Every structure is written in structure tokens, then in C-alpha cells.
Amino acid sequence: MEENSLNQQQFDDSEESGFDFMSWVILLVQYWYLFVIFGVLAFGASYLKNRSWVPVYFSSGKLMIDPNAGQNNPQFMQGFGVESGHKNMANQVILLTSRDLISQVVDNLPEMRVEYISKGKFKTRNLYKMSPIQIETNYISTEAYGVLFKIEINEDGSYVISDDKGVIDEDLEIRGKIGVPVKSKLFVINVTKDIEFSNKTMFFRFRTKTSLVNEFSGLYPEFINKSSVLSISLQSPTPQRDVDFINKLFEVYLANNLERKNEQARKTIKFIDEQLTGIKQTLKGSENDITEFRRSNQIVDITTHTSEIVEKSTEYNERKSALRLKEKYLNYLADYIKTNLSSGNIIIPTNTGLNESTLVVLAQQFNELLEERNSTSRKNPVYKKLTREINNIKASINEAIKSMRKSIQIEKQDIDSKIAAVRSKMNMLPKKETQMTALTRQYKIDDNYYNFFISKKAEAQIQKAANSPDNEVVEQARVRFVVNGGKKKETTMTYLLFGLMIPAIFLIARELLNNTIRGQKDVEKNSKFPIIGNIRHTKKANPLLTLKHPRSSFTEMFRVIRTRIEFIVQRKTGIMMLGTSTESGDGKTYVNINLASVYGMTGKKTLLIDMDIRKPSVGDRLGISEKAGVTNYLIGENELDDLIIKNDDFSFDVLLGGTVPPNPGELIRSEKLKGMLKELRTRYEYIIIDTSPIVRNEKTNKAFFKRINEQIVSDKFNNFYIVLNDINITSKAYGRYGYGYGYGYGYGYGYGYGYGVKNKKDNQYTHYYNDDDIDI
């Protein structure tokens, strides 16, 4: 061919690169059935998974916490100037969630100590309050706790208990009868039947108190919208059990709160009774003294003259008695701190008598710390810290008591001096009248204090009877919603996603790992040279299919190549074409033979030269028995005319490769070869040279093909074109890359048997169907 610049004029020399999104979409769409299959499998797997789905329920109840609980004194205590410790809302949360309180609740719910379970094909259910049998326990060994036992009940009421997991003994069999106690080394139980049931096999396990406390310690407290209403919630697959636990928690908590208030009232009444015992004896003695004095001295009443002195004396003595009462209370408080302080709250002095603010604050702090420590386990590191703080405050309270005792002593000394002055005045009165006045004064003092304590005791008893918990249940616990309600949908979507990803990843990986030329797109990406034609895949191995089936679509592909070549060279004689490929097996000889056939079919003088002198194959393909050819001419053994084979079965002449020489490279570079080709160009209109290893679809290696193209560019070859061989028009790769056979050059050879399909883009026929297409 003559040199021309068509490669640069009609095709982009730059290598096509970048991500072709549509090609990937087309690839995935063409394998749609894989996505359907894996999608159905994934949906089936998600269905089986969802069959084992167990709903988790959210249950909660609401409790109103009084933020001022414990701050206000009971009315009957105001006479003593005492109040109970401050309990803030944070402390109430600690109390509600403490292990001690949870343990107390578990003790009040014995039905939770035996767990009844049913097993289905896909899921396991806890039959809390739904079990058809009940197990009464009298003894349970340590090793039996936590073990899953299987019980099989027979029609006659007998049953067999075995170790389901073989934790204790795989061969364990304990036989018994419904309603009859059964004894074993593991437990002593009595199985009773509540209702009839069809499933005769069930499971049960014994729960330890610790395991239940650990489980329910996960309860979640939360104040609602910054109010004093506290929500207590639990999450589990057994909602009725959670509801029962929360309600029982409220019940025990309120009962404990009421018990603490009643205990304070009982301590107050006890203190009053102790004081009344002593005052009652004193009062009785005062009455007897006055009666005896009047009887023996015949005195009815004191005179008006001594009334004022008596009143003053009475006032001072009452004040002194009040000081003695304070001393008694301080002694009581000091003794209580030493002996009973760890058992409950102390009574705090405030506004009457003992109004020392430091003592009040210390006592309040002490009560708060004591309550917090009582709600904390001894194993908790916080317990030791709270104990240290309590001991520190205890020492401070003792110091405050000492200080108050000194103050009382000073005040007593002042009153004693005033009493002494009054007595000096009384000494001026007649002796009998003075004695009567003294006896009357003492009686009034004792009587006043007796009445005071009687009144306070009555108030304390009334208050105790009227006591109620500081807090109140706003809403009993109930099931609110299913926590994992969207889990089934999420599982289905996840499985479908992974199911659809599997074929997508497979197809993409297969495409990325493929290293062969699979279509026109691959050729365009790895070569700067234009594709001049595509050759379809055929079932037959006959190299002369174009001659056998001249009206087939297969032959039409070669006509397209022929027409393009004529359009490129734009001359009619001496056209020389060289056909090569990247490696053996790509189909270059096959293409060259059929290309020579379509040229010969037009009546053009055509010659096919086998220049693959290392491995000549044209003769074998055409069934020619002669062996002499090009190499024989080049070494001078034969004349050129003697070597050219003319056969009526072919539409072209053939020049074979000849005998394989030891030095093929030197022969190819010889001047005699150039002269031979020059001579042949004068004889023939078209010369097709078959050389050593045309690119074959899904056969040619991409990397090797790309390196060959780079070498051709480097050697500055012109008029170089590519034929893509062995395209399967029914394959996915063919459809993905959108190949056609017509490029709008207009063939005009009169082979229009059958009918054609027009390409809407360029209004040209892209494929022909006719009778010769069958079984090619």
C-alpha cells in the first residue's frame, strides 16, 4: 500500500482511557439472571434468618420523686427541734438501682427462680407465666443452677428429666410423676400441671439469686423532661417478667420509704417514754410533798405577798429544767452515735432548745451519707470512701456536742445566780410559807413538763398512724414498644444487598482480571490503530467459507474489509497487503485466505503469499500437497513462475512458504525478496502476504497486543490497520461492546439476498440475513 495519513486524519491517535460507566452497566444488565438467582437465594436466606428473630420489648413505669422528701419536720417533732435528713432526687435514683434493693425485689418474686423454656425449629421462648407445668423446689444443689434440663412428659403423667447439653451428665435420667415429689442428688422438686398442652417436651433451668440480680441491674432510670417524674425501664424478650419486676420494685421501694419514716417515729416515741418515766416519778413525789406539808402545817394556799417571788422562782427553775433536758438530749445523742448510729437516721436538733446550726448541718450530711452507704454493697470501693466520710462527720458531731455542753454550763451558772437571789428574798418570808412556796414551784415545773411530753407523744402516735411514702407511682409498668421491630426489614435488606453484590463483584472481578482482547473496546483501548473490520465466529473449520457461502453474512464481513481497503488506497493495481498477528493461533492465515477469496471473487488477479517461513501453513489449510515456495526461490532452487500455484478451486493464486530454512531472518532481509515482491506487483492487482504470528477475540493477550502496537508506533509504520477475528455475535461481550458489520461505505456488489437491518444512527445496513448464514 502507499503511505498515507489516514490513521491521523480519520482516527484519534490518543489512547482511549477513562472509566466507561455505560459499558459496566450493560455488562451487569446482560447477566440479569444472575442477580435474579442470587436475589431469590438471598431473600430465602433472610426469610430463614427472620424465622429465628426474637422481638425485644421495651417496658417501663413512672415514679414521682418528691424533691423535698425528708426536709420538712413532722409536726410532732417541732417541739424538740429535730428533722430527718435531706434526700435529694439523685439519692433516690441510687436507692432504686442499688443491688440491695434489686436483691430484695428478687426475693419477693420467687416465680422467677425457675425459668421455663420451649424450643421450636427456629426460635426459643421463655414461658414466664405461660408454662403448662410448675416446679415447686425444696432443695437445689449448687451444680444444678444454670443447667438447661429437658423434661419429657408421657401420656400417663410420668416424666423423664435429662441434661439437655450434657453439662452435668450426658446420661442423666430422673424419672417422676406429675404431682409426686421426686428426690435426686441434684434437687428435690414436685412437678405439677396447670393446663393441658400438646407439646410434651419442655425445658427448664434454675436461676440463682445473683444471676437474676445481675440481669435486672441493667434497668435504666431517666427523669422525664427535667421533671421529678422518674422513668424506670427494662428491655428483654420477656416483657411480662420485666413489667412484674418494675412494679414490684416500686412496691418494695415505697414500702422501705414508709418503714424508714415509721422507724423515726418509733425512735421518737421511745425517747419520749424514757423521759416520761422519770418525770412521772418526780411529779408524784412533788404532789406527795405538798399534800404532806399542808396536812402537817394546816396550810391551804400561799399568800399574795409571796406570789411574785414564787413566779420568778418558778421561771428560773423551768429554764434550768430546760437546760437539763438539753443536756439529757445531748447525752442521748452522744450515746446514740456511739452505739446505734449505723442502724438508721439520727434525730436532728433545729429550732427549739438545741438550735446550733453546725450540729444540724453535720447531722443532715451524716444522714445523707448513711443512706447512700446503706444502698451500696460492701464490696464496692465507694463503700469504704463513704465510711471514712461518715467517721469524719461523726467526730465533728462529737466536737459540736462538747461545745454545746460548755454553752449550757455557762447558762446554768447564770440561772443559778438568779435562783440564789430569789431564794434570798424567800428567806425573808415566814419559814412555813417559804417551804410551801418551794414545794408548789417544783410541782408546777414537773407538771408542765409532764403535760408537754404527753402532748408530744400523742402527736407522734397520730403522725405514725398517718405516715405515707414520700413518693408515688404515677404509672404502673407496661410494655411500650418493640425495640428491634425493624430488625426483620433490616436483615432482609442486608441479605438482598449482599446477594446482589456477589454476582456484581464476580462479573466486575472477572472483567478486571481478564487479560485477553474481548471486543472492539479492548482493541481501541490498547491500540492507536483503527479497526478495519470484524470477523464473526464460525462453527466450520473450512478456510474457504467465503467461496462456499458467497452470500452469507460471514462473507459480507470480508467484503466490508475489502471495500474499506479500496477506499483507503484509492487505486486499482499493485496493492500489497501484509497480514500478521500478535501470536500463533490468532487466526491470521484464516483471515488472509478468506480475504484473498473475496478479492478473487470480484475477478481481480489476486495472489496469496505464505511468508511465515518458520511455520508455513497456507498449503496445509488449502490442501495443497506441493511444498516448494518462497524459500526455494530465494535460495535459487526454483523459478518464480514454477512456484506460483493456480487452482480452479480457488479464486486466487498461491505462493507457498517453501522448505523451512535454517536462516529465515537473513532470507527475509535479502534483496532478492524485494525484487520478487516488486515483480509480483506488476503481475497482480492484489497481493496478500501471510506472515508470522490478526488479533483474535478472547484469545489475544492485551499486554502482548499493546506492546506490539507500541513497537509498530516506535518503528513509524504507516497504513497499519486491525482486523478483529472470531467475534461471537450472540456473546455477552459482543452485545456489550455493540459491534456491527457496516460502517456506511455502501457496498454495491449485488449480494442483497434476503433482507437487511438498518442502523438507525447512520441509516446503513449493519447485518445481512440470507440462506447461506445457516450453520456457518
Residues 283 and 426 in one domain: yes
pLDDT classification of 107: cutoffs 50, 70, 90 = very high
Per the prediction, the chain carries an average pLDDT of 77
Q: Which residue has the higher pLDDT, 731 or 658?
A: 658
pLDDT classification of 529: cutoffs 50, 70, 90 = confident
pLDDT classification of 136: cutoffs 50, 70, 90 = very high
Q: With respect to residue 24, please indicate whether it lies within any of the assigned structural domains.
A: no
How large is the average pLDDT for residues 335-364?
63
In this predicted structure, what is the pLDDT of residue 667? 82
Beta bridge pairs of residue 687: 576, 607
Whether 501 has a pLDDT exceeding 70, the answer reads yes
Instruction: Judge contact between 587 and 696, C-beta under 8 A.
Output: yes
Q: With respect to residue 25, please indicate whether it lies within any of the assigned structural domains.
A: no
Whether 718 has a pLDDT exceeding 70, the answer reads no
Backbone φ, ψ for residue 159 (5° rounding):
-150, 160
Residue 124 C-alpha from the chain's centroid: 22
Q: With respect to residue 83, please indicate whether it lies within any of the assigned structural domains.
A: no
For the stretch 679-712, what's the b/e string if a residue is b when 16 or more beta carbons lie within 10 angstroms of its beta carbon?
Answer: ebbeebbbbbbbbbbbbbbbbbbbeebbebbeeb
Q: Tell me 145's DSSP state.
A: B
Residues 471 and 493 in one domain: no
Residues 438 and 584 in one domain: no
Nearest to 88 by CA among 67, 107, 64: 67
Question: Positive or negative, the Cα torsion across 129, 135, 139, 144?
Answer: negative
CA-CA distances (angstroms) from residue 396 to 243, 333, 337, 342?
Answer: 46, 13, 11, 16
Tens-place pLDDT, residues 250-302: 999 988 888 887 877 788 788 878 777 877 788 788 778 778 777 776 555 55
pLDDT classification of 42: cutoffs 50, 70, 90 = very high
Q: For the residues of 623-687, what is the DSSP string, one character each?
A: T------HHHHHTTSS-HHHHEE--TTSSSEEE---SPPS-HHHHHTSHHHHHHHHHHHHH-SEE
Residues 621 and 748 in one domain: yes
What is the Cα Rg of the chain in Å?
57
Residues 263 and 356 in one domain: yes
In this predicted structure, what is the pLDDT of residue 85? 38
CA angle 342, 340, 465 (to 5 degrees): 95
Residues 528 and 656 in one domain: yes
Backbone φ, ψ for residue 225 (5° rounding):
50, 45
10 Å Cβ neighbour count for 75?
11
Residues 499 and 623 in one domain: no
Q: With respect to residue 397, please indicate whether it lies within any of the assigned structural domains.
A: yes
pLDDT classification of 345: cutoffs 50, 70, 90 = low
* 287 class by beta-carbon count within 10 Å (0-12 exposed, 13-18 middle, 19+ buried): middle
Q: With respect to residue 21, please indicate whether it lies within any of the assigned structural domains.
A: no
Residues 375 and 506 in one domain: no
Whether 606 has a pLDDT exceeding 50, the answer reads yes
553: domain CATH number is 3.40.50.300
Whether 752 has a pLDDT exceeding 50, the answer reads no
Nearest to 704 by CA among 584, 534, 568: 584
How large is the average pLDDT for residues 722-744?
50
**Residues whose CB falls within 8 Å of the CB of residue 84, separated by 6 or more in sequence, listed in order:** 70, 73, 261, 264, 345, 347, 348, 367
**Residues whose CB falls within 8 Å of the CB of residue 538, separated by 6 or more in sequence, listed in order:** 545, 554, 776
- Amino acid type, 605: K
pLDDT classification of 773: cutoffs 50, 70, 90 = very low
Strands, E assignment, 307-433: 348-349
Tens-place pLDDT, residues 9-23: 443 444 444 567 787
Cell of 698: 478472547
- Amino acid type, 248: K
Q: Which residue has the higher pLDDT, 544 or 685?
A: 685
Cell of 647: 487452482
Domain boundary among 252, 277, 296: 252
Residues 260 and 247 in one domain: no
Q: Which residue has the higher pLDDT, 552 or 141?
A: 141
Tens-place pLDDT, residues 629-656: 888 888 888 898 888 998 878 889 999 9
Whether 54 has a pLDDT exceeding 70, the answer reads yes
Strands, E assignment, 114-252: 114-119, 124-126, 133-140, 149-153, 158-163, 174-177, 182-183, 187-193, 201-206, 220-223, 229-236
Residues 161 and 177 in one domain: yes
Domain that holds residue 211: 57-72+88-252
Number of domain units in the chain: 4
Nearest to 618 by CA among 653, 670, 577, 661: 653
CA angle 454, 460, 464 (to 5 degrees): 150
How large is the average pLDDT for residues 725-749?
43
Instruction: Judge contact between 253 and 232, C-beta under 8 A.
Output: no
Tens-place pLDDT, residues 382-430: 888 888 888 888 888 888 888 888 888 888 888 888 888 777 766 656 6
Q: Which residue has the higher pLDDT, 4 or 369?
A: 369
Whether 203 has a pLDDT exceeding 90, the answer reads yes
Residues 710 and 604 in one domain: yes
In this predicted structure, what is the pLDDT of residue 354? 55
Q: Tell me 721's DSSP state.
A: -
- Cα distance between residue 362 and residue 390, in whole Å: 10
Q: What's the whole-model pTM score?
A: 0.54
**Residues whose CB falls within 8 Å of the CB of residue 184, separated by 6 or more in sequence, listed in order:** 174
Q: With respect to residue 490, please indicate whether it lies within any of the assigned structural domains.
A: yes
Cell of 583: 501470536
The full length of the chain comes to 776
Tens-place pLDDT, residues 90-105: 888 888 889 999 999 9
Residues 506 and 417 in one domain: no
As a whole-number percent, the residues of the chain with pLDDT over 90 amount to 18
In this predicted structure, what is the pLDDT of residue 453? 78
Instruction: Judge contact between 107 and 245, C-beta under 8 A.
Output: no
Whether 556 has a pLDDT exceeding 60, the answer reads yes
In this predicted structure, what is the pLDDT of residue 304? 52
How large is the average pLDDT for residues 747-775?
35
In this predicted structure, what is the pLDDT of residue 216? 93
- Cα distance between residue 725 and residue 533, in whole Å: 9
